[in-house]
Chains A and B, each alone.
Chain A
Amino acid sequence: MAGSPHNAKVKTLYLSGLEGMKAEVEASIFPGLPSFEVVGLGDSSIREAKERVRASIRSCGFTFPNQRLLVNISPAYLHKSGSSFDLAIAMAILLASDQVHSAYETVTIYGELSLTGNVKAVPGSVSRLLCLPKDDCSVCIVPRKDQEEASLLGVSVEGVDTLFGAISIVSGEERCGIPSFDDFPFSSDLPEPTADISSLRGQPSAARAILLSAAGFHNMLLFGSPGTGKSLSARILQGILPPLQKEEKIALLRVESALSVLSKENIASMERPFRYVHHTCTPSAMVGGGRSAVPGEISRALHGILFLDELPEFPAHVLDLLRVPIETGEMKVSRNNCTNIFPARFLLVGAMNPCRCGKILENPSECTCTPSMISSYQGKVSGALLDRMDIFCALNHISEDSLLETMKGDFVPESRSLRARIQEIWQMQYERCREMGIPPCRNGECRECNLGEIFRLPQKEMEYAAMVAHQLKLSVRGLQRMVRLSRTIADLDESRDVRNEHIVEAVSFRLPAWGDKRG
């Protein structure tokens, strides 16, 4: 055989941004001075793979070819990174050097190797597995950990713990069964809400605002002095959201798995995400980015809540980045020569104090802020972002007797029972979108122009809404916000059409004119 090269080829999957990508790893062994080269635009993590592969092949009792060895990863024009190529490179070398004989025509394989030959999980499992063709009859070998995600997605894979395990599957000695989605131990019920909506009994307007926000997925601004329960309200909102649907969960796991290896609890829970973002958050941490473009907080809040406490403390350029994702439901991040699209459908909940010391509403005499400080504090939140908040919810200090009421024996938790109701309302909204021939969305996410038609406002009500907008000097966006919210109020009333009473209630949740609050 001397003189002619030995070739072998395996398929592998890698992660680029959020996308799972297919690649081929070819190994060729030529006679000549011993050398080991990997080509195909790999970064330093792939160059380091050489040493891990060499060590693990040896520790499994095989010989590392003492000849000229070339590994090519194609397509060669795309930049690649990550340690997931280790296992594929090792397998290609073992096949090319005739130490292992494959029982299958094609083998798809990925995973990180340790020096002792153990196979470790790598981030991005869900995206990788999603790009596997469902009807592929070939074998796919993944780290043992990824089997959980595979069963969630309903694809058949072979989980392995060691390089040796992978070899025995490739050579046809072993094969596991095909798991299915239903096998996975999902927690069928959501955990008990951390805060219950009934604790807002003394603040009916806040309770109503939270209910509406959930029912129509309306972005909400919580406005109130420190200690009035802004964070609590956001938690309550999370507690009344229904569990994630399967597709939503998968989309969320795609994001989460790209960032880190998922834990079992992480996968099992169907609770909607609640991302409490601190105001020191950088632009790329917020919307996604970095050298190799990883998803940001807005994507990690997918189908759940993005909670921005102390909204005016956020740098203006960070807040302004939120405008596009709110409108489009996704975030485009361009890095190197590829554009990554991160999903970003989230419910934005902002919280802010009325002024820096926070006392202007409850205790104006103790407030130490000057009027110019107040307006500059409030002015930090750009009008463009406020324009995208459908609900303005002012919180007051809870009075003594309502506090007392929440501690009495007749306190009945209500959040849990609301979840099913909100799920129904969402279904109604999706159904209406289908009838109108537009992509399914909840009321708060609807960005169509002909809202009157989609939301079923009869001519008379449309005129009324326009009259109200004129009277209250609302902008066009303000009118749209009011109409969207009145549709949700009508949905809660199970009314087919939006009526004047719904419009009138929506009025009370509009943003006040920003400015001096001393008057």
Chain B
Amino acid sequence: MDQKLASDLFCSLMIAHHIMTGKQIMKIASLKGLSSLRELWEGKEEYLNEDSLTADQFNTWKKFRESPVFLRFDEYVEYVSSHGIHSIDRLDDDYPSYMQPLPNMPLILYYKGDLSLLSKDRSRVCIVGTRRPSSYGKRVTRDFSGKLSRHDLVIVSGLARGVDTIAHESCLENGGKTIAVMPCGLDKIYPKENRELFEKIGKDGLLLSELLPGQEPIRQYFPARNRILSAISDCVLIPEAGKQSGTLHTASFAGAQGKEVFVVPSIIYSETAAGNLMLLKDGASAATEPEDVLAFLAHVVFFREIEEIKDAYDRKNLEKKIKDSPELLTEEEIRRILIEFLSVSEVTSDEIVKETGLPYRMVVSELGKMEVEGLIHLDSRKYVLTIRV
């Protein structure tokens, strides 16, 4: 039996049966110094007691132990495992680090397929929209999804009818990778007509759900699923959305999570695109071509890299080195100093020389190299950080 999967399934069951909340599990794990949920599962008799649980919860726990679900737990794990479903939880190293700081992120995620699509080195675009797109909406979705996936971007969507389906299909047709976040257990397929697409994504892309396998799709859950869609994406693109569309939930989650929302403009009389216009009024960015999204993502990637460089910047040590022995500075250190400057504002080489005290030749050589690499460019006479596309 897959012990990892078993422990994650156990914790999910605890949450689903209101014996523990995700927060409580994390609290117990940190209090007892557990390094994985497996330890919790194996020591459930020890950790689940009257101290850690409320009276109600403890009663439920006692009752739960009598229930067939608990008694036939091993069979259930076998069933899940036979569907090729795996799991990750917040205590794992491969749980996406960018999801950790976001509010209300699931403790456990079930997946089928290639988990590397969630790595922080890849850029993901969420494309969601109405279930009944107009021909315009279909065309926009196909174009954007196809073009963006050719640029090695991962397309994230919800496998729903309409825009979602077209987004997945267009991505796969263009040889791209796609992620579907499901509103049900991964052993179920919703909607049923997308069975073929579902299997293709499970094989080639990634299927994702926070719900326990066996869970049927429930309408009330759909909006909650949308928070995961936006959480794993760098930005959200909305080709077409109606006024009451669930897509608007995704957009508002994206806003709360600090993600950019792109909306493709449409004519103002279109019923199916009323949501687009509403979002645009509320300040979403308009995307009239895939390049708009690409440029933004390049920005994101670039600043992610710069933050990494800046994090490694040991200012005190470097300042001493500049003063005492600038000739000993490595290329990397000089580059760090320059990026520190350039990320604040555009500067001339003279200003850098003056502010840092670095020798002129060193500054100019490094600036030249960075320019050749495309990191910076000259705007009239000032160096500016380049946004790479």
Contacts and interface: CB of A to CB of B under 8 A. Distances in A.
Interface of A: 202-206, 208, 223, 354, 361, 394, 396, 399, 402, 467-468, 471-472, 501, 503-508, 512, 517, 519
Interface stretch (B40-48, B133-141, B188-196, B362-370): B362-370
Contacts of A505: 361, 364-365, 368
Given A223-B381, A361-B380, A508-B367, A204 B360 contact: yes
Most buried by B among A467, A504, A512, A519: A504
Given A205-B350, A396-B350, A472-B372, 12 more contacts: A203-B350, A204-B350, A204-B360, A205-B348, A205-B360, A396-B381, A467-B372, A468-B372, A507-B372, A508-B371, A512-B378, A517-B380
B372 A504 contact: yes
Nearest to B371: A507
Nearest to B351: A396
24 contacts: A204-B360, A205-B348, A205-B349, A205-B353, A223-B381, A354-B380, A394-B348, A394-B381, A468-B372, A471-B372, A471-B374, A472-B371, A503-B368, A504-B365, A504-B372, A505-B361, A505-B368, A507-B371, A507-B372, A508-B378, A512-B378, A512-B380, A512-B381, A517-B379
B65 interface: no
Contacts of A396: 348, 350, 381
B203 to A, nearest CB: 40
Contacts of B360: 204-205, 208
Given A205-B360, A361-B380, A504 B354 contact: no
A504 B367 CA distance: 8
Contacts of A472: 371-372
A415 B72 CA distance: 92
Nearest to B383: A508
Give the one of B348, B367, B380 with max A CB within 10 A. B380
A504 B369 contact: yes
Contact of B354 (A202, A208, A223, A354): A202
Contacts of A467: 372
A501 B365 contact: yes
Contacts of B364: 205, 208, 504-505, 508
A517 B384 CA distance: 13
A173 to B, nearest CB: 70
A202 B350 contact: yes
A399 B349 CA distance: 14
Interface in B336-360: 348-350, 353-354, 360
A399 B350 CA distance: 11
Contacts of B380: 354, 361, 394, 512, 517
Nearest to A203: B350
Nearest to A503: B368
Contacts of A206: 350
Nearest to A500: B369
B368 A507 contact: yes
B69 to A, nearest CB: 62
A468 B369 CA distance: 9
B341 to A, nearest CB: 15
Nearest to A493: B361
A242 to B, nearest CB: 23
Contacts of B361: 505
Nearest to B374: A471
A38 to B, nearest CB: 64
Nearest 3 interchain pairs by C-beta = A504-B368, A394-B381, A204-B360
B361 to A, nearest CB: 7
B355 to A, nearest CB: 11
Interface in B101-140: none
Nearest to B378: A512
Contacts of B354: 202, 399, 402
Contacts of B381: 223, 361, 394, 396, 512
A158 B60 CA distance: 130
B326 to A, nearest CB: 14
Contacts of B348: 205, 394, 396
Nearest to A208: B360
Contacts of A203: 350
A470 to B, nearest CB: 10
A112 B379 CA distance: 61
A394 to B, nearest CB: 4
Identify the interface centre among B364, B367, B379: most chain A CB within 10 Å of its CB: B364
A223 B382 CA distance: 13
A494 B378 CA distance: 29
A326 B164 CA distance: 64
Contacts of B349: 204-205, 508
Contacts of B378: 508, 512
A203 B349 CA distance: 9
A423 to B, nearest CB: 23
A508 B350 contact: no
A62 B370 CA distance: 85
Contacts of B371: 472, 507-508
A468 to B, nearest CB: 5
Central interface residue in A202, A208, A399, A505, by most chain B CB within 10 Å: A505
Contacts of B372: 467-468, 471-472, 504, 507
A246 to B, nearest CB: 36
A361 B346 CA distance: 13
Nearest to A223: B381
Contacts of B350: 202-206, 396
A204 B353 contact: yes
Contacts of A519: 379
A435 B365 CA distance: 30
Interface centre among A208, A402, A503, A508 (most CB of B within 10 A): A508
A211 B17 CA distance: 80
A361 B374 CA distance: 24
A316 to B, nearest CB: 23
A277 B361 CA distance: 33
A223 B373 CA distance: 26
A223 B369 CA distance: 23
A203 B373 CA distance: 26
